[in-house]
Structure 1
């Protein structure tokens, strides 16, 4: 055990000892705490951003095959929500805040903090590159999902139209094939058929729209 601080220099160089013990390393404990808080704050924010990006990457790489109109619309909603996570404006603000904080803290006599500053700058650069890649992936998947929605909507509308045609054909067969046994009943049947034609006219236009879309 050393009897006094002077004996430190028998084992350590002056440059390895803090100034309060006679060395040349400048050490301010409050400054160290303040710097540590700033570094940890930005490091946590960037790590959270990285976790969010990794989650979105996994979501974008997933090959979704929605089998119905409802499922395809749910996929689109999830896809739109992902855009909020990869928004470039938020990342730009975070990286600007990091750059501003580092500029205020430099130069720093603590080599560990200097290494942390470099690490924060590297993370910002990595996240900016990752954001560009994710945005491209998001755009490409969005275009594919739009096509899927259009296909599933066409299938959904077509199924409804076919059901309507079958129901209408059955109604025509059941209710509008009687020619009547008198002039009066024939007139009634004729009017009923005209009413039936009016009812199906608008639906026929919708069928034409679906077929030609």
Structure 2
């Protein structure tokens, strides 16, 4: 209180009472030099929770070691208040920047933690592009700047302005021990190191999360491509199956019509077999995705199984109609051939001239027997082809009934979708 008034001291005591009462145990007030100031000064110590004492400057070293007293109190403790303020401002600015950067990194982490997978190829591609932009944000985060600011603060606290830059902080113990003997500034060293370490760890964690989600997004893109290809194949099969079933049991009423139907069906079958190349490729892709531990492996397996089963049902119908049309062509060919031979057979039977010579008669009998056998053989062939055609029609109709009701292509894919 030397050279000061009571109005100077009391606000300080009030602040200590209001904000630091639990931390302050005793307050020593240096007595004023002026006699009249001594008389006018009253502490009102009963107002405070801590002990307050008036003491002379000469008696102060008896209570506080001179190494803990500054020069203006006739001690040896080196303390530059302007320097302390400058360091506190630099420290607070560093802490604020580090906290702000950590908040931004936390926001990025929250974005990376979302499982916002797109439902189509375009959306999946857009998500990959946005994810690549996210990587730029992670990489460009000013982690190195925060690291450099923290290192410079440590250098200033240690009093070594020329020390090298060590981003790894391998010598933390030696750095802390060389900090000027100011408890407040000494306590800030772990805080600086903690903030720098937190920023670096957060960025590294983000890179790990980014890579993990990149794998997921790539798998999502592959999944949507797979589903898109499957949808096209389901659409093709469903459409062509409907067209196929329109004349599925039509086998022709003559050899010529049956032959035309057979040729038309063969052309349709060959076109369908060309499509199977795409289906086989899709099934191969499905197997590769499943083997690569895709996150939707079960869904992919289910869609691939449905596609394979749908194709096999369609192909079975093609095969059965191929066989039935072949039987129809054979039957009509045999039947028409039989009908064409009836007149010649009838004419041969009506010729009842009986030869008088034995040799000629035996030859005629043998010839007539051959005619009968050829007639029976032709009839047998017609009957057998007829029976085969009936059996084939029965099997074909059964296959026809096995065809499921025409499903929606997307229903086939997105049933139990992921």
TM-score by length of 2: 0.36
- 1:101 alignment partner, one of 140, 153, 161: 153
Is 1:29 paired with 2:101?
no
The corresponding residue for 1:86 is 138
> Is the contact between residue 91 and residue 128 of structure 1 (CA under 8 Å) also seen in structure 2?
yes
2:58 match: secondary structure: helix
Distance 1:111 1:81, change over 3 A: farther
1:23-60 C-alpha deviation (Å, 9 max, x unpaired):
22211122112212221222222212222222223333
The one of 207, 212, 216 equivalent to 1:135 is: 207
The RMSD of aligned alpha carbons is 3.7
CA contact (8 A) 2:112 2:209 kept: yes
Q: CA deviation at 1:95?
A: 1.0
Q: Residue 53 of structure 1 contacts residue 85 of structure 1 at CA under 8 Å; is this kept in 2?
A: no
TM-score by length of 1: 0.64
Partner of 1:51: 103
Return closer, same or farther for 1:6/1:104 CA change in 2, 3 Å cut-off.
Answer: same
Equivalence for 2:187: 115
Distance in structure 2 (CA, Å) of the matches to 1:46 and 1:20: 37
1:163 offset after TM fit, Å?
7.4
Higher relative contact order (CA 8 A, sep 6+): 1
* Structure 1 spans left out of the alignment, 5+ residues: 168-207
Q: Which structure carries more helix by proportion?
A: 1
Q: Distance in 1 between matches of 2:57 and 2:68?
A: 13
Which of structures 1 and 2 has the bigger CA Rg? 2
Q: Structure 1 CA distance, aligned partners of 2:218 and 2:232?
A: 21
State how far apart, in whole Å, the 1-side matches of 2:144 and 2:199 are. 10
Q: Secondary structure at the match of 1:87?
A: helix
